[in-house]
Structure 1
């Protein structure tokens, strides 16, 4: 039995009863467990996911075996390999569950159909994508120009409730630093 509704996904969007019924059919709510992998490199990307509860992450493993975390997704966030999802290419990334989570998934085809049948959803996603793109650019600039301490403090501000649920190497890979540097930053901040 569903625990959440489309209104939980599209906060602030007013639907008619018919639009609500159409939108509800496009999404599938699923429960995922810590460690479950939703996407691996080389796969076509059939879905994007909305997080109702829990934490997921997108990451990449280089040819040398180094892991790079690109995104954490917590309550009310979307996650997938967006490049592959929108271009019908194969994924470059993994998406896995950091904690048990309740999520819903929607296919690209269902999304395109919703845009036609419920136009305010297209507007909703356009605004979301604009904000995501702006945030992504800010993160890139921050990664290039900020100290490890500044990156860590920005992370804690952006994700106040998940640090205790993720492994140190996940956080370090997201910040682009080593786990030793992360420990040093935390130690220095504790002294202040």
Structure 2
């Protein structure tokens, strides 16, 4: 891990950070104030940024690569709740507000670069910038709604339509997510996903 402000590629990182959907409307003065709080993490595929069940939480701004939000049951069976790529973010803000342990893990799907800071610092920073807080809380609610809609979809649609819905909503992720990961997210086996794509049914 490296301090954001000390990284040799800081100028490039600043551009990437400013493109994040939470920060894109923030002016340079706000970003200047935020940067000293940030730590830069270069993730390998499979690295865990946040473990399910912990109380120490962080806010993540994705600069490059793809992360997933995943729940694991007591039998070690996993369910992927969502994928997030660059210009997006990950958080456990709802759990922090409710003072409960994190209900999911956040894991890198691909090689990724993330700027992070402790969640309590992020919350304090937002209190000083109400417009930023409004944008962030709206995105948190949107993500919760999106995850709920995806869960319902898995019960209502058959495999071809589940895949078609994902591709229509996230065309930029199709070729970047390993087939096994995408199949798990869609609750189908990797062979079924490959067959559907090969047969042109999606």
TM range (shorter): 0.7 to 0.9
1:4 to 13, 24, 33: 13
* CA-atom RMSD in angstroms: 2.5
Alignment counterpart, residue 88 of structure 1, candidates 99, 103, 109: 99
* Secondary structure in structure 2 of the residue aligned to 1:35: coil
Name the CA distance, whole Å, in 2 between partners of 1:172 and 1:82.
28
Distance 1:144 1:57, change over 3 A: same
- TM-score normalised according to structure 2 size: 0.79
In structure 2, distance between residues paired with 1:80 and 1:72: 13
The 5 A counterparts of 1:50-65 are 50-65=61-76
TM-score by length of 1: 0.83
The answer to whether 1:15 aligns with 2:27 is yes
Q: Which residue, 81, 84, 106 being the options, matches 1:73? A: 84
Q: 1:16 to 1:182 in 2, by over 3 A?
A: closer
Q: CA deviation at 1:113?
A: 1.4
Any conservation in 1 of the 2:82–2:147 contact (CA below 8 Å)? no
Name the CA distance, whole Å, in 2 between partners of 1:176 and 1:148: 8
**What's the counterpart of residue 132 of structure 2?**
121
Count of matched residue positions in the alignment of Structure 1 and Structure 2: 190
Runs of at least 5 residues in structure 1 that lack an aligned partner in the other structure: none
Give the counterpart of 2:121 among 101, 110, 121. Answer: 110
Distance 2:131 2:86 in 1: 22
SS at match of 1:24: helix
Give ranges in structure 2 of 5+ residues lacking alignment. Answer: 1-6
- Matched residue, 2:3: none
| Deviation larger for 150-159 or 131-140 | 131-140
Change (3 A) 1:130 1:94: closer
Shift of 1:159: 2.9
